[in-house]
Amino acid sequence: MLILDTGIREELKIVEKDLAEYLRAEGNASQVGDILRDVSLSGGKRLRPQLLLLAAQFGPFYKEKKERLCSLAALIEMVHAASLIHDDIVDDSPMRRGRPSIQSKYGKDRAVYAGDLVLSRIVKELFKGGFYQVGGLFGQAVEEMCIGELGQMQCLFDAETTVEQYIKNIDGKTAALCRLACAAGALESGAAQETAAQLILFGECFGRMFQIRDDLLDFVSDASSEGKLVRTDFREGILTLPVLYAVKTEAGGKPIRALLEKALRGQFSDADSEELVRLVRESGGIQDAKRELGRYAASANEALQGLPPCRARDILAGLVARMIQE
Amino acid sequence: MLILDTGIREELKIVEKDLAEYLRAEGNASQVGDILRDVSLSGGKRLRPQLLLLAAQFGPFYKEKKERLCSLAALIEMVHAASLIHDDIVDDSPMRRGRPSIQSKYGKDRAVYAGDLVLSRIVKELFKGGFYQVGGLFGQAVEEMCIGELGQMQCLFDAETTVEQYIKNIDGKTAALCRLACAAGALESGAAQETAAQLILFGECFGRMFQIRDDLLDFVSDASSEGKLVRTDFREGILTLPVLYAVKTEAGGKPIRALLEKALRGQFSDADSEELVRLVRESGGIQDAKRELGRYAASANEALQGLPPCRARDILAGLVARMIQE
C-alpha cells in the first residue's frame, strides 16, 4: 500500500542518490561503515520525502530549487531512519522492513550511537546546504517526536489514558514528521504563507490518519501486516485508538483491563489476543476509531480545498482516500 | 580539580542562564519536564564552555559578541550533557556527577529519547540564533563522538588494540568536543584563520590529555575518584592507555590478558583489581602513559606559542600545567 504514482519518479531518484551520499561510509572500514551501509540499504516507502516534494509543488520555486528540495527530502527520510533505530532499541524489535534491525544486529548499545550518528549527519548537511529557513523546524520535529514517545511510555498499561493524550502522543510520534515534510517543502519552495499553513495543517491531519490507520490494521488483519506482529502494541502496554475506545465502554472496560493486567505480567497468550480482537470489535472500538480517522480525513480534505487546484493537490487527495479505504 | 579562575565569571553566569532557558520545561508538566529539569540541574565543571570562551578571547569581536558566545558555550555544554545521557545507557552507570543518572532514574528506554531531546534543542537553538558559521561543526563533533564510541566498543576486551586506535577513539570520545569548543569560540569571535588553527590544535591536544589524565587517575588513586569506581573501565573491557602500554610488555602481556579473560567472564574480583594495578605499574604502563601525556602537553604548549600573548593564553597554559601535575 501507499506506493504512489506521484509523478515525481525522477526526483525520487535524486533523493536516493542524496541519501547514499549523506550516509556514505567512506574512510570507515570499521563497523561504522557497516552500520551506515545497513541504514542506507534499509529501504522504506519514502513517504515523507514524497510528502515534502508534493508540498513543494505549491511554491513558485519548485523547478529551480528541485535539487535543494531533493536534498531536504533525503534529510527528512534520515530523520525517520534515525528515529526507527532508536525506536527499535526501546521496542526490542528484531526486524525492520524485512531486515534485522540495527539493534538486533549490532546490539542496543551500538544502536544508540548509530541513531546519534545519523542525526549528526543530518545537522551537518542542514548547515552545509544552507537550509537556514527550515533547519530549525527539523530540530523542532525531533523534539516533538521525543516528547511523543516519552508521552506514550508514560501511558503504558494505563487504561485511563484519554483520547486527547493519545492524540498528543501520536502528534509527536508520527504527525510531527509529516507536518515537517509539508512545512519544509512549502517554505523552501517559497509557497505563500497561507498556502504553507494549509499544507502544514494537511500534514498534521495526514500524520494522525497514518497512525490511526496503522492502529486499525492491527485489528482488521489476522496475520502479520507489513512485518509487524499483530497485537504487539497491546502486549507491550500501548493502548492504540481502537483499544482505547473499547476500554471506555461498559462491555469492554472490565475484560480489556483484565487482559491488560495479563500483558503487564507477561502472560498475554495468543488466545488472549483473539479475545482482545473480539472485545474491541464488539464494543465498537473499531467503528469509533474509523470515525476518528474519517474526521481527520475530512480536515485533511478541507485543508486541501484551501489550496490551488493542481496535480499535486489531486495526489494528496488520493493519499487521503487511500487511508480511509477498507 | 580544574576549578578555574579564568576571569570569566560574569560570562559563566550568562551561560547558566542560557542553559536554564534552553532546557526549559515550560508546558511540560509530564515526565518530559522532570527529565529536562534533571538535565539542567546536573551540574558539572563547565569545562567546555570555559574553553570556548577562552578561545573566543583571541578574536576581535569578543566583547560585542559576548552574548552570542555565551549562548554557544551553553550549547556546547548541552552536547556534553546529551552525550553523557547516552553514554550512561551504554555503561549502565547508576550515578553521574553525584546524582542518579537519567538512565537509572527513568530507565534506558526513556534515556534514549531524553538524549535525543537535548540534541534536538541544540539544533533548534543553533538555527534560531543564526549560528550558521559554526552550526555544522556541532554536527561534525557529534559524528566524531559517535565514531569514537563505536570504535571503542569494537576494541573492547581486545589486547591487540594499538595505541593509534586508542588515540583515534579518544579523539572522538573526548577530544572532538574540546576541539569544537576552541573552533566555535575562535570562529564566532572572528579570530584570524591562523589563530583559529592554533586554537583548534590546542583543543585537540588538550582533549587527548584530558582523557589520558582520566585514565591515569584510575591507577594512581586507590579510592573512587570523581564518583567513578576505580578500574570500572577494565571490568567493562575498555583498555585505557596505561593498560594498553602494559599489556604490550613481556612482563605484563600474559598476566594482564589473563585478567582480561576474567573480566570478560565477569569474574574480575577486587583482588584482581589490585593485581592489575601492580602489573600496570611494574611493567611501566603508568610511566609510558605519562610520557604520552607529556608529549601532548608539549604540543598544546607549542600551539599556544603560536598565539599572541594575553591573559587567556596564560590561563590555557595553566590548564595544561594542571593536567600534568602529579
For the stretch A34-74, pLDDT in tens is 999 999 888 889 999 999 999 999 999 999 999 999 999 99
* Grid cell 590561563 in the structure block, residue: B315
Identify the pLDDT of residue A310: 95
The answer for A 112-141 residues in CB contact with B (under 8 A) is 112-117, 119-128, 130, 132, 135-136, 138-140
Could A143 and B113 be called an inter-chain contact, meaning their C-beta atoms sit closer than 8 Å?
no
A43 close to A87: Cβ distance less than 8 angstroms: no
Q: How would residue A253 be classed by pLDDT, with cut points 50, 70 and 90?
A: very high
Identify the pLDDT of residue B41: 86
Q: Which residues of B touch A138 (CB under 8 A)?
A: 123
- pTM listed for this prediction: 0.96
Q: Which residues of A touch B128 (CB under 8 A)?
A: 136
Could A127 and B117 be called an inter-chain contact, meaning their C-beta atoms sit closer than 8 Å?
no
Any chain B CB within 8 A of the CB of A191?
A: no
CA dist., res. A86 & res. B165, Å (int): 27
Nearest by CB to A150, from B31, B90, B147: name it: B31
Could B32 and A147 be called an inter-chain contact, meaning their C-beta atoms sit closer than 8 Å?
yes
Tell which residue, A28, A39, A58, has the closest CA to residue A303.
A58
Q: Which residues contact A53 (CB under 8 A, 6 or more apart)?
A: A6, A8, A11, A12, A15, A69, A70, A73, A185
Interface predicted TM-score (ipTM): 0.96
Q: Mean pLDDT throughout A88-110? A: 93
Q: How would residue B1 be classed by pLDDT, with cut points 50, 70 and 90?
A: very low
CA dist., res. B265 & res. B175, Å (int): 31
Any chain B CB within 8 A of the CB of A31?
A: yes
- Which 8-state DSSP code applies to residue A59? S
Look at phi and psi of residue A267 and say left if phi exceeds 0, alpha if psi is from -120 to 50, else beta.
alpha
CA dist., res. B251 & res. B266, Å (int): 24
Q: Domain segments of chain B: what residues?
A: 9-323
Identify the pLDDT of residue A4: 59
B159 close to B28: Cβ distance less than 8 angstroms: no
Q: For residue A95, what are the β-bridge partners?
A: A100
Look at phi and psi of residue A246 and say left if phi exceeds 0, alpha if psi is from -120 to 50, else beta.
alpha
Could A146 and B113 be called an inter-chain contact, meaning their C-beta atoms sit closer than 8 Å?
yes
What chain A residue is nearest to B153 in terms of C-alpha separation? Answer: A110
Q: For residue B96, what are the β-bridge partners?
A: B99
User: Given a cut of 50, is residue B227 above it in pLDDT?
Assistant: no
Q: Which residues of B touch A123 (CB under 8 A)?
A: 123, 126, 135-136, 138-139, 142
A125 close to A187: Cβ distance less than 8 angstroms: no
Grid coordinates given for A3: 506506493
Task: Name the phi and psi angles at B212, rounded to 5.
Answer: -65, -40
| % of chain A exceeding 70 in pLDDT | 94
CA count, 13 A, side-chain hemisphere, A293: 26
Using CB atoms within 10 Å of the CB of residue A112, give its burial: 0 to 12 exposed, 13 to 18 middle, 19+ buried.
buried
Q: Mean pLDDT throughout B69-96? A: 96
CB atoms within 10 A of CB B41: 11
* Grid cell 589563530 in the structure block, residue: B195
Could A120 and B140 be called an inter-chain contact, meaning their C-beta atoms sit closer than 8 Å?
yes
CA distance A224 to chain B (A): 25
The answer for A 262-321 residues in CB contact with B (under 8 A) is none
Could A32 and B128 be called an inter-chain contact, meaning their C-beta atoms sit closer than 8 Å?
no
SS3 A224: coil
A122 close to A79: Cβ distance less than 8 angstroms: yes
A172 close to A165: Cβ distance less than 8 angstroms: no
Q: A189-198, A211-220, A308-317, B60-69 — which is least confidently predicted? A: A211-220
Q: Mean pLDDT throughout B135-148? A: 97
Grid coordinates given for B254: 600474559
Q: A242-256, A279-293, B223-237 — which is least confidently predicted? A: B223-237
A167 close to A35: Cβ distance less than 8 angstroms: no
What chain A residue is nearest to B140 in terms of C-alpha separation? Answer: A124
A292 close to A286: Cβ distance less than 8 angstroms: no
* Amino acid of residue B55: A
From residue A294, alpha-carbon distances to A213, A246, A249, A300, B177 in Å are 10, 18, 21, 10, 50
* Grid cell 486541501 in the structure block, residue: A304
CB atoms within 10 A of CB A236: 14
Could B139 and A151 be called an inter-chain contact, meaning their C-beta atoms sit closer than 8 Å?
no
Task: Name the phi and psi angles at B182, rounded to 5.
Answer: -70, -40
> First vs last Cα of chain B: how many Å apart?
12
CA distance A289 to chain B (A): 26
SS3 A4: coil
Q: Say which CATH superfamily domain A9-323 falls into.
A: Farnesyl Diphosphate Synthase (1.10.600.10)
Q: Which residues of A touch B147 (CB under 8 A)?
A: 28, 32, 117
CA count, 13 A, side-chain hemisphere, B68: 23
Best to test chain B binding among A109, A134, A138, A165 (most B CBs inside 10 Å): A109
* Amino acid of residue A148: G
B188 close to B171: Cβ distance less than 8 angstroms: no
Nearest by CB to A90, from B86, B112, B135: name it: B112
- Which 8-state DSSP code applies to residue B289? H
Identify the pLDDT of residue B228: 45
CA dist., res. B6 & res. A121, Å (int): 34
Tell which residue, A115, A126, A135, A139, has the closest CA to residue B137.
A126
Task: With residue A99 as reference, give the H or E element that holds it.
Answer: strand A99-100
CA distance B278 to chain A (A): 32
**Max CA pair span of chain A:** 62
Best to test chain A binding among B90, B109, B131, B180 (most A CBs inside 10 Å): B109
Could B150 and A113 be called an inter-chain contact, meaning their C-beta atoms sit closer than 8 Å?
yes
